[in-house]
Amino acid sequence: MYTHHDEWILILDFGSQYTQLIARRIRELNVYCEIHPFNVSPQQFNDHPPKGIVLSGGPKSVYDEDAPVLNLDFFDYGKPVLGVCYGLQSLAHSLVPGSVERAEKREFGRAKLIIDDDSGLLKNVPDDSVVWMSHGDHINKLPEPYKVIAHTSNAPVAAVRHKEKDIFGVQFHPEVVHTEKGKEILQNFVIHICKCQGQWTASSFIETEIESIRELVGDNKVICALSGGVDSTVVATLIHKAIGDQLLCVFVDNGLLRKNEFNEVLDTYKEHLHLPVIGVDASEKFLKNLEGVADPEEKRIIIGNTFIEVFDESISDQEDFKYLAQGTLYPDVIESVSFKGPSATIKSHHNVGGLPEKMHLDLIEPVRELFKDEVRSVGRELGIPDSFIGRHPFPGPGLGIRVLGELSKEKLDLLREADSIFIHALREYGLYDKVWQALAVLLPVQSVGVMGDERTYEYTIALRAVTSVDGMTADWARLPYEFLSEVSNRIINEVRGVNRVVYDVSSKPPATIEWE
């Protein structure tokens, strides 16, 4: 995961739900950063040390039996350090055991920051600006030679600094939007204290990555499985820019795509992006393999295995390939090295898991350093149409996991029509770009209705639209009632087989964005 950059910030993860937000905020300053578990060896970075280190927050108390412990060897680099919440407490506790204690009054939510020293970390941060607190412990005794640079009405120590070195700590979370001057605080640390230049941009990423791809691939060939989504499209376009027709792309119609999607996307690949792509219609094969299957995880496995089979068959007459290109993103990479260990399987990942082993291929993952919004920025820089780059995320198994229960072509076609009405209406009302993801789900429920003078017993469609930044957390979109009313009426009137439409008002967590 560790890659060389001229300047970068190391984020040590102590388990906070906000750790990825720290990375995102630093990258918004055009500075590259990486997240590593708190217990990573400092020696790993000896050849190319970071310009600064951030210690993330975390859910533990320093007194918990399994509390993460800060490795003080990281201070041997002599680089600036910023401890955030638990990161600050771990720093203080490591230097002076007993300096952290349970707070009499826990502090969660907004608080007003009172500045005691407005230089350095808190430069241009006004008194009484709002910060976001989330802690049950606090510091009761500062290690020598640290001093308090800010406090709140409940926390006598809200921000500290070393009197001689560039070591800082804050008891609040500067990375969350609720902290009014959080961006300025992080900018003070990263740009002014760590002396980063802020030159890591989409264009510089493309330039560096093209050079790396050419060096890695040489005269060999690369195969890329296109899903029709943003990630794989950006990967294919980037690699094509680097090595031209040494790349071959395969776009498979699995029968689980949206209405007209296969032909429309294939046309974009060929006519607008000029990618060397093969279109394969394998819809009948997928539906046959999925017949009678209701369990969502089993569906995903069958879809993945069938894709591997179809993909392998579709290039059987092609020359040998050495590399398989995938659209793995940085959140996937972070999850794989989390100090908390492998998380429970919520659902199988849709990337092509079996192909590298089956076809003896090496993986090439050009955007594995990037978050979703950064991939979109790279795509725009590469000249991919904004109408394509702005498309909502779409799962690898497609509508196969949006028809709940057993699949059939009839159900899929019914869902395609309802989904098309919903998505087109969002565009017509100017709402499409205001939500992160929107989808229709066909429920395995039939209910009584009345159409004309006849009693009906037909399916229910659930509509879902969420707002989010990166899909890791999401809230249901507050779409206008008039809009929902019109969409409901259109679906019921135009889609034969549906007599009821409901709207999902669940947030993630506890719900997921997809229903399966």
What residues act catalytically?
85, 173, 175
Nearest CA to 334 among 301, 303, 361, 372?
Answer: 372
Q: Three-state SS for 75?
A: helix
* CB-CB contact of 323 with 361 (8 Å): yes
SS in 3 state form for 165-185?
Answer: CCEEEECECCCCCCCCCHHHH
Ranges assigned E (strand) in 321-436:
323-325, 362-364
Is 332 exposed, middle or buried, given 0-12, 13-18 or 19+ CB atoms closer than 10 A?
middle
DSSP structure class, residue 100:
E
Residues in the chain: 516
Residue 488 has a CB neighbour count (10 Å cut-off) of: 19
DSSP structure class, residue 455:
E
Tokens of 252: 């498979």
Cα–Cα distance measured from residue 414 to residue 409, given in angstroms and rounded to the nearest whole number? 8
**Residue 331 vs residues 62, 217, 364: alpha-carbon distances, Å:** 27, 25, 17
Residue 164 has a CB neighbour count (10 Å cut-off) of: 8
Phi first, then psi, for residue 514 (nearest 5°) are -75, 160
Residue at token pair 């770009």: 433
Q: Tell me, what amino acid is at 26?
A: I
Q: Tell me, what amino acid is at 439?
A: L
Tokens of 323: 């590399």
